[in-house]
Amino acid sequence: MELWDAYSSKFEKIEGMTLVRGEPIPEGIHHLVCDVLVKHTDGTYLLMKRANGKLFGGMWEASAGGSALSGEDPLQCAKRELFEETGIVSSELKEVGRLSNRDTVFVEYLLITSCAKHEIVLQEGETTAYRWVRREELLSMRKDELATDRIQCFIPELSIPIK
């Protein structure tokens, strides 16, 4: 059973309230999700392919990320998700934006790294492949190829809408 902290739409933790993954989230309550866009110092971006059984399965994602576990702050969540989904360990994450929707508050991060590009580690059950792409290729991807373009909205060089 995965437990989450409850948040307001203003990113304030609601003390004494815990959410359970898979159970309905009460109206007006949110859970925290963190995403990390990984940009290599050579200018390419890391794409991760979602496992087929997942929501948006088989599609590419321009971030590593997921739900914060109970007790995690946004940066702890982002670092954990980054490591779990890519094998990258870094403390150089820069927060680039926040937004909320019906039941989720999102904190978006950018990591610029010189990691060994061939040493990305896939998370079993979550990701099945990865690739590094130039800005132009990322921007040319269609909505049915790219699972989310949420984080790209906060990166000026990627602010051109996905097709």
What is the DSSP code string of 112-147? EE---GGG--PPTTTEEEEEEE-HHHHHH--TTTBS
Is the predicted pLDDT of residue 78 greater than 80, yes or no?
Answer: yes
Report the CATH superfamily, name and number, of domain 3-158. Nucleoside Triphosphate Pyrophosphohydrolase (3.90.79.10)
- CA distances to 3, 13, 114, 145 from 71, rounded to whole Å, are 9, 10, 30, 34
pLDDT band at 160 (very low <50, low <70, confident <90, very high): low
Angle at 69 between CA 125 and CA 96, to 5 degrees: 90
pLDDT of residue 152: 79
- Mean pLDDT, the chain, integer: 92
Is the predicted pLDDT of residue 163 greater than 80, yes or no?
Answer: no
pLDDT band at 20 (very low <50, low <70, confident <90, very high): very high
pLDDT band at 161 (very low <50, low <70, confident <90, very high): low
Sketch the domain layout of the chain as residue ranges. Answer: 3-158
Average pLDDT for 148-162: 75
